[in-house]
Chain A
Amino acid sequence: MVYENVDGVKIGLEIHVQLNKLNTKLFCGCSTDYHNDEPNTHVCPVCLGLPGALPVLNKRAVEFAMKVGLALNCDIVGQTQFHRKNYYYPDLPKGFQTTQYDFPIASHGKVIIDGEDGERIVRITRAHMEEDPGKLMHIGSIEKSKGTLINYNRSGMALIEIVSEPDMRSPKEARRFLDKLRSILEYLDVFNGDLEGAMRVDANISVMGGERVEVKNISSHKGVEKAALYEIMRQKNFVRRGGKVVLETRHFDEQRGVTLSMRSKEEEHDYRYFPEPDLVPMRVADRVPEVIKTLPELPDAKRERFTSQYGMADMHAKALTSEIKVANFYEQVANLVDPRSAAVWVADILKGELNYRDVSVDAFKVEDIVEIIELVTGNKITERSGVEIIRTILDNGGTPAAIVKEKGLIKVEEDIVTKAVTEVLEENPEALQDYLGGKEKSLNFLVGQVMKKTAGRSDAKTTREMLLDRISKLPPK
């Protein structure tokens, strides 16, 4: 199948990623663990921009940034330094943001995603380090706000801003790119995407060769997809009515699902970038080989290994490797039971139940899924009972053994099924006649009736065999 992209959609993304697995901020020793704390309790003279305070670069932040660059197949710069991006807005009390300008730490990379019609390469323009601004909160609604509350706990958090080329051709591709990026970042153990504000995205969207429109500050992957869908529709309608799309910045209203024009008088040259005199240049090229050695196996490589090592379908390998936690969970299970059964149970069943409840794989114990798989493969319980145990554990807790006992899930004794078969054949003479007359479907009906009588605890295959056996032994009429 070829994706035509009839509207000539082009999407490029700028993603701000908090390196929140660091212990401290980018330029000071304030702790990054502020999410449950009072406002303005993780700040010091440096992140508060007090006169005379001097920033000192976090060594591990540079390592993290290099890891990200290398994992995105980028070149790492030989030497770089920080710049001041000057703007006057209270989210940064210094009056400027410390960022990288002409020499980003990483550039010219690529990420492969599952596109609309097969593999798609998204080029990475650059990835640079910068500090996060503080958080503004408007009192009341934005229109009637009486004031703005400022919390600087986030101010000075290490960010890496990743800029892609406009290589995505649909909102779905944009979302897939973000999913892949998050997966890579979590594999690198530099980022926890569950924390509020961990990833913020600006999307540049154009249609039919028109100017691009930048939609700022979208906070979720789903939001990016929705904002892009809305923006494509808006631009198409605008052009259809004879309008011409102009370069502009818009804001995404997540609740209403619309983008709104944001007037901004500041232009690139108004930022008056200049080298940050309080920080000395850094030379990182010679550290690249060392950092490469610390790179873990990344999602694509793991997916390939899973198919070859465990003999599973690529579909399962993909599902199991998109999240590092799930991949590690699977490997623990695969060490204890048949890896192929484990792939089916973890990828198809457990993951579905987890997603449905929006909980992480941490909510389930390796030994519990192992026990369930053993019960099913040992023919002690039906597959359906296995699923029921997973659901019960997730909803109410408990252990597989206790649930099996409590719900009486051990497959019913054969004589109970035998009894049910006899009863069903007596109660449904028409169905039996239909089957004998050549109507195959009637057998399924009979199987269903038996399973109903045994409350679904006997599996379809055995029931079918028993029915056929019994029918073959019926005296001819």
Chain B
Amino acid sequence: MITKEEVEHVGWLARIEIHESEAQAYAEKLNAVLDYFSQLDEVDTENVAPTYHVADIVNVFREDVVRPSMPQEEVLANTGKKQEGNFLAPRIM
């Protein structure tokens, strides 16, 4: 069971403000999703290795060769605030 407090905590981890009025509704919706997934608990996985990836391939590599990066203007194109080529964020501790 996901509680209202857990919803608020996860909201904080994602830096999303969740009003108390919303938290209860989210908790109910998330519990419904979890209930649905709990059907998977009924499957016997005793001798099944954990799946780390759905595609059955390993070792996909790239050679260590430099490719062009993006121009600075393009990098900063989507940001609201910038300063001297940097992204400008609010004060962060």
Contact = CB atoms under 8 A, between A and B. Distances in A.
B63 A59 contact: yes
A56 B83 contact: no
B76 interface: yes
Given A24-B65, A40-B86, A151-B86, A88 B15 contact: yes
Given A142-B93, A147-B90, A280-B55, A56 B85 contact: no
Interface in A380-399: none
Interface string B62-75: 11111111111001
Contacts of B85: 38-41, 151
A281 B83 contact: no
B43 interface: no
Contacts of A57: 60-62
Considering residues B15, B55, B64, which has the most beta carbons from chain A within 10 angstroms of its beta carbon?
B64
A148 interface: yes
Interface stretch (A43-51, A122-130, A164-172, A221-229): A43-51
A150 B87 contact: yes
Nearest to B60: A280
Contacts of B90: 147-148
Nearest to B79: A150
Contacts of A149: 83-84, 86-89
B69 A23 contact: no
Interface residues of A, number: 54
B72 A40 contact: yes
B61 A58 contact: yes
A148 B59 contact: no
Interface string B1-45: 000000000001111000000000000000000000000000000
By secondary structure, the B interface counts as loop
Given A38-B85, A48-B75, A56 B62 contact: yes
A23 B65 contact: yes
Interface string B46-67: 0000001111011111111111
B69 A43 contact: yes
A283 interface: yes
A252 to B, nearest CB: 16
A interface majority secondary structure: loop
A192 B7 CA distance: 45
A20 B49 CA distance: 36
Contact of B64 (A61, A150, A270): A61
18 contacts: A23-B64, A23-B66, A24-B64, A29-B65, A38-B85, A40-B85, A40-B86, A40-B87, A42-B69, A44-B70, A60-B64, A62-B61, A90-B87, A139-B83, A149-B89, A279-B60, A281-B53, A282-B58
Interface of B: 12-15, 52-55, 57-72, 75-76, 81, 83-93
Interface of A: 22-24, 28-31, 38-45, 48, 56-62, 79, 81, 86-90, 95, 136-139, 142, 145-152, 265-266, 270, 275, 277, 279-283
Given A41-B71, A151-B87, 18 more contacts: A38-B72, A38-B85, A43-B69, A48-B70, A56-B61, A58-B62, A88-B14, A90-B87, A137-B86, A138-B91, A146-B91, A147-B83, A148-B90, A277-B53, A280-B53, A282-B58, A282-B61, A283-B59
